Structure 1
């Protein structure tokens, strides 16, 4: 091994603290960068690939068969449309799985005789296409192992069944299922379709403006209100990508924090190593080391732990990305997504390059030192530096060990500044993590709005000898008004919420219709914009519903409810993330016909005993075929993952910050070991030595903590709304104003805790060192 290699290895082994600090700082930066970069890139890849392969529909529209004919839709031409498919007959049915189902569900079915088409080329995931009476193909993403399942259509005469013969994937999400064109007529009471679906490919589909222009163009020349619903591919894409996109803003924030911290710490560590090892540099030059060899020695002492940190950070980034990428892969049936190789290359090259440049700038000073100057200077700081401050602090009414410590930072201002910066980053990470957790808790509270004190459902069937329910899944009576009346006759009822699965005209997927009886405004639902419904025909909806349907406050929306069309006007945007935001809230009086609800949730007045209420209500419900059930709170996998990632990345940043303080204090303590020996010789006790060292970082910790809290709050204010936007959510103000005054004060003390924790090991070393050993040191 060369002389440079021997000195490099000895330096890495001897300076264990700085080696660990550099490795961890690099690991932190690489982990967050790989994770954030990977999610940013792959979040849109599965959808874009599937959409291109299937020649997906940029715009799907449903037309009223009473106002237009198939010939009118076929002959209608529009500027900007490059390809069309259809018209396909559509029908909305309510089905109940014959075995193992979870209640009745509405399905938006489209009649197509083949999966092949010029627009929306469907890809069979398994099974075969439905080309015979009584067969249906379902969207693969909505069901688990559905092949062979029997779906009962209890609302049709004779309760016919549909057999699931295949599953398919439509990137355009144009339907919940597909049957043959002839089958559609048999599924409607009138003998004709509920609507006609047209699919369009556009020349310029990249903005909402062009989609809106195309929507206007395709309906031009047709009777007014002929188009009863439409869906933009941009809305479908947004929903498809939001599961991974929500992680990107906060991961990028942590990545930037880690990257900047690693660069600053590396520069500080190398500069401190050069400053404290001046005499050693002189020795190396005296034995023949050239300036270039000295630079390579110190550069290598940084790059070795940085390379190890980069390798471990790559592995950690890949492991943390697995559950998020797997979820995205399953949605499209694609092979398991992996972090692209070029992300690894870019991150590794970028982080190591920044570390190398930073280390080179600091080690360049070591190479330029003259041999005789390096041997003469040693490691003692310049005499007289900080003496004026030392004399001023000596006048404070504090013990001498404390005043000595308070004056110490002014002897090494650059080193003190680097320590403060390390504390700032640690305090920033903690403040941001606390704020993020509080904001996510508000999101979780919103998710719990749809849980209740008591729920009412149909009486379950008896269990047969084989352990399975003896009969189809139960459902409440089509007219649940008697049940609602019994509920509100019971003392302690605040309001009830009847939920039904419906579809939006012209769109696939299930929407949860929530009809309130009583004043639901007291239930804590928080409005983002607009107002709660009050007049007949009004409703409110979450951000997810508005985004997916392309509606805004003031627009009307038509729902397929139990075979009837119900039109509601949206007057407000409510904060709610249940059912992926695909919900709509209105007063039960707006539903003029009975709605087959699946469950009724009851909110009780404060102080009402839940068990006693349920027991008292049960006798009134039993004759109506209903029973009470205990409610359970719901959580969120996304929130759990986010909290876990936040905790891991915050712990890494705080650890790096603490080690940065430890490295700085350790260098400073060893540098003035002879002064410590003199203090011990004139009577300073080990406890006073510890007090002196800890006092030297106290002010730095307070300054860094205060600055870090401010930076963390600014970071929270920027990142959390960006996360909401990525998830298709707009957050209410209460989810952003999460820092109370006591919390801010405690977080400010967090910087002091980081500084004291980092300084404690060097303080203990200084307290243990023998006086004679300290006095012999240079």
Structure 2
């Protein structure tokens, strides 16, 4: 082993605090960077692989049996651009009753003799395929809603007894369940049904290519509706893409903190080891060898931290990608060797550069100067602060501690920076979690949903709730129910808008407080007919702004409308138009609500209210169901990761403070001996050391809180922008004055926690030992 290697190993072993701090801060930075980079690289991987393996359908098309013939459907297989096709399969929307006797929301059931084929090979996760009457296979997406152990259970469709014989998945999301063609005919009866055709195109990488294939098919047979694989793919990867901005933010926090703390650690090590440096040079070490020795002392723990960070980042990928893996039957771990190597190599290069810059002073020191210099700060530095603090009505040990940061201003700035980043992490984590919870609250405002009990007609395609016979009576019943907080009636229709291709979902609202169910981003709420509220994606697609006019078309009738507000509404990917019901009655005079959303007053028993409302609505031909508001899985993942990464940053900030205070205490050990010889008690010594970080803690806390607020607004805005939305102020502005005050004090807490251990060491130092130390 060379002399240089022994010096490096000795330095790593002696400076345990510095070693741990460097390792942890590098681990934090690498963990965040690996998470962000791997998510960016792997977000679409599971879906794409499953889609290719299962020969997923690039286009799932529905046809009205009354508008097309079998010959026309067969001819579409030869349309320009179609590489393969499957079908026609009959489909129907069926209402099921589960094994507990609970009604299941209507699902699309497809009559299909087998799970194979040239397009959309359905893969069984559990059980077998339906081969006989009275058997049904559920889609794996619905298994997560129905729960495990469903295979073998007895369900019902009307009066038909069913056995769930399997759980399967379709990468193309072509059905909610499958059964035999003969069984489907029994399910549907005279109800609405369609033909389903599935197509793979020779080129389908872009929306334009899929649209061209759809156009070629429609020339041979008119479609009742269609779904592009690109829409399914976007939904599958959207959750993981949302995580990237906040992980990048944590990665940047970790990188900047790494540069600051590692630079401070190396500079402190050089400052406290000047005599050792002089001895090394007197023994023949060159300036370059001395610099390399300190760079090596930083790279060893950094390499360990980088390795742990890579492992931690890849392990944290598993729960994030688990949902996609479960949906599509893949087992992608998200591990990307290229990302791991790039992040780890970049982190070590950054550490090396930082260490070279911080240890350059060691190489420049002359042997004579290094051997002669002591470790006590130059006399006179910071005396003005000592005189100023002595006037405060506080014990002298406390005032001495308060003045101490001004004797080492550069080192004090490094402590402020470390504390600021810790406080920023706390502020950012709390703000981001609150913002995400408020986003979910916007979607979960209604407690009860009211629909009609009957069906007045049948039409092809997915069935919407049927309109009420007497909406006025329904509204009167809801308003008269004890515990009603508010309600909104909704009628849905399909429209087109000038400048936007394709059909749009129009939501016509009525009720005394419809505005409470939406959150405005800009503009105002509806005040009458001829006005619409839209989301950011609509404005972007149409090239419009709030205040502009746009022409809508409903049932062939042009309806001019003014955009009076921009709302946060993620339904239909933001391509939904909200308007007063009177606006659409110009084209649909008989349009009435088909659904009412009801909110109850705070403190009301929702279950009892729902039962009471059901009984009151039954004579009116309506039913009420309680809406389920479970926590969103992605919100839970974001909150968990944010809390974990924030905790690690706080720990590193505290260790950074502790490292600096340890250096300060060791440098001042002779001064401590003098103070103790003059009568300073261990308790007073502890108070002095802790007081030395109070000023830096307060400044760092205030600065960190400001950075955390800015970071929270930037990241949550970028998360929304990544999917094309702008957010309302209620989601962005989540901090009150009281919260900001408490968050500002977080810096003081971090500083005091980091100083406790070295304060205890200083209090235990014996006078004789301290006085002999120079």
TM-score (norm 1): 0.77
Once the two structures are TM-superposed, the CA of residue 617 in structure 1 deviates from its matched residue by 6.2
Q: Where does residue 323 of structure 1 map in the other structure?
A: 319
2:659 aligns with: 663
Q: Which residue of 2 aligns with 1:12?
A: 12
Deviations 1:518-544 (A, max 9, x none): 535265542457887888999989999
Partners of 2:405 and 2:179 lie apart in 1 by: 78
Indicate how the Cα distance of structure 1 residues 384 and 685 shifts in structure 2: closer, same or farther if over 3 A, else same: same
Cα distance in 2 for residues equivalent to 1:287 and 1:124: 74
1:246-276, CA deviations, whole angstroms, 9 ceiling, x for partnerless residues? 3332222212212221232112111110111
Q: Which moved more, 1:177-186 or 1:727-736?
A: 177-186
Structure 1 residues 534, 56: CA separation in 2 closer, same or farther (over 3 Å shift)? Answer: farther
Would the aligned equivalents of 1:243 and 1:328 in 2 still touch at CA under 8 Å?
no
Query: What residue is the counterpart of 2:36 in the other structure?
Result: 36
Spell out the pairing of 1:261-660 with structure 2 (5 A cutoff).
261-291=257-287, 293-335=289-331, 337=333, 339-387=335-383, 401=397, 404-451=400-447, 487-495=478-486, 518-521=511-514, 523-527=516-520, 575=568, 602-605=598-601, 634-660=630-656
The residue number in structure 1 matching 2:500 is none
Alpha-carbon distance, 1:278 to partner: 0.6
Give the structure 2 partner of residue 49 of structure 1.
49
Partner of 1:257: 253
Alignment of 1:94-173 (within 5 A): 94-97=94-97, 99-100=99-100, 102-110=102-110, 119-125=119-125, 137-143=137-143, 152-154=156-158, 159-160=159-160, 167-173=167-173
In structure 2, relative to structure 1, the CA distance for the partners of 1:80 and 1:696 (3 Å cut) is farther
Partner of 1:465: none
Provide, for residues 582-612 of structure 1, a one-character-per-residue CA deviation record: whole Å limited to 9, x for no partner: 9999999999799999xx8753456878798
Greater mean deviation of Cα atoms: 577-586 or 263-272: 577-586
Cα offset for 1:711? 1.6
Aligned: 1:81 with 2:81: yes
What CA distance in whole angstroms lies between the structure 1 residues aligned with 2:48 and 2:623? Answer: 47
Q: CA deviation at 1:235?
A: 1.8
Q: CA deviation at 1:658?
A: 1.5
1:681/1:617 CA distance change after superposition, 3 Å: same
Q: Deviations over 1:456-503 (max 9, x none)?
A: 999xxxxxxxxxxxxxxxx99999989877555434434467999999
Q: Which residue of 1 aligns with 2:728?
A: 732
Partner residue of 2:228? 232
Question: Unaligned 5+ residue runs, structure 2?
Answer: 454-464, 496-504, 555-560
Native 8 Å contact 1:238 1:728 kept in 2: no
Change (3 A) 1:607 1:100: closer
C-alpha separation between the residues in 2 aligned to 1:612 and 1:191?
34
Contact 2:94 2:106 (C-alpha < 8 Å) held by counterparts? yes
- Residues 693 and 751, structure 2, Cα contact 8 Å, conserved in 1: yes
Contact 2:697 2:749 in 1 (8 A): yes
- Give the deviation of 1:337 after TM superposition: 2.6
Decide whether the 8 Å contact of 1:90 with 1:110 is kept in 2: yes
CA distance in 2, matches of 1:162, 1:514: 36
- The 3 A distance-change label for structure 1 pair 544 and 332 is farther
Question: Deviations along 1:668-687, whole A, 9 cap, x unmatched?
Answer: 22212223334444555555
CA deviations 1:259-302 (Å, max 9, x no partner) are: 22123211211111011101012223334545455344433332
Q: Which residue of 2 aligns with 1:461?
A: none
Q: What is the Cα deviation at residue 240 of structure 1?
A: 0.9
Distance in 1, matches of 2:610 and 2:175, equals 40
Would the aligned equivalents of 1:267 and 1:358 in 2 still touch at CA under 8 Å? Answer: yes
Aligned equivalents of 1:134, 1:419: Cα separation in 2 = 71
TM-score of the two chains, using structure 2 as the length reference: 0.77
Residues 175-234 of structure 1 show CA distances to partners (whole Å, capped at 9, x for unaligned) of 33455667766665569953554535263633x5x26853774477579xx444232322
Q: Distance in 2 between matches of 1:195 and 1:595?
A: 29
* Cα shift at 1:236: 0.8
The separation in 2 between residues aligned to 1:417 and 1:343, in whole angstroms, is 34
Question: 767-776 vs 705-714, which deviates more?
Answer: 767-776
**Cα offset for 1:239?**
1.3
CA distance in 1, matches of 2:685, 2:66: 91
Match of 1:744 among 740, 745, 751: 740
For 1:432 and 1:637, locate their aligned partners in 2 and report how far apart those are by CA, in whole Å: 20
In the alignment, the residues of structure 1 paired with residue 537 and residue 105 of structure 2 have an alpha-carbon distance, to the nearest angstrom, of 20
Q: In 2 relative to 1, CA 105–618 (structure 1 residues): closer, same or farther, beyond 3 Å?
A: closer
- Taking a change above 3 Å as real, the CA distance of residues 164 and 276 of structure 1, as seen in their structure-2 partners, is same
- Name the counterpart of 2:212: 214
Does the 8 Å contact 2:50/2:329 carry over to 1?
A: no
Any gaps of 5 or more consecutive residues in structure 1?
459-474, 505-511, 559-568
What secondary structure, in the 3-state scheme, does the structure 1 residue paired with 2:745 have? helix
- Report deviation, 1:708: 1.6
| 8 Å Cα contact 1:89-1:193 kept in structure 2 | no
**Alpha-carbon separation, structure 1, partners of 2:97 and 2:220:** 39
Separation in 2, partners of 1:80, 1:404: 85
The 3 A distance-change label for structure 1 pair 80 and 520 is farther
Once structures 1 and 2 are overlaid, which stretch shifts more, 600-609 or 764-773?
Answer: 600-609
Q: Give the root-mean-square deviation of aligned CA atoms.
A: 5.2
Deviations 1:75-102 (A, max 9, x none): 5799983535256354322131463464
Contact 2:60 / 2:228 at 8 angstroms: preserved in 1?
yes
Name which of structure 1's ranges 45-54 and 300-309 shifts more when overlaid on structure 2. Answer: 300-309
Q: 1:605 to 1:429 in 2, by over 3 A?
A: closer
Moved more, 295-304 or 123-132: 123-132
Aligned to 1:738, the other structure's residue is in SS state: coil
Q: How far apart are the structure 2 equivalents of 1:584 and 1:147?
A: 41
CA distance in 2, matches of 1:546, 1:173: 29
CA distance in structure 2 between the partners assigned to 1:174 and 1:617 by the alignment: 36
SS of equivalent to 1:449: coil
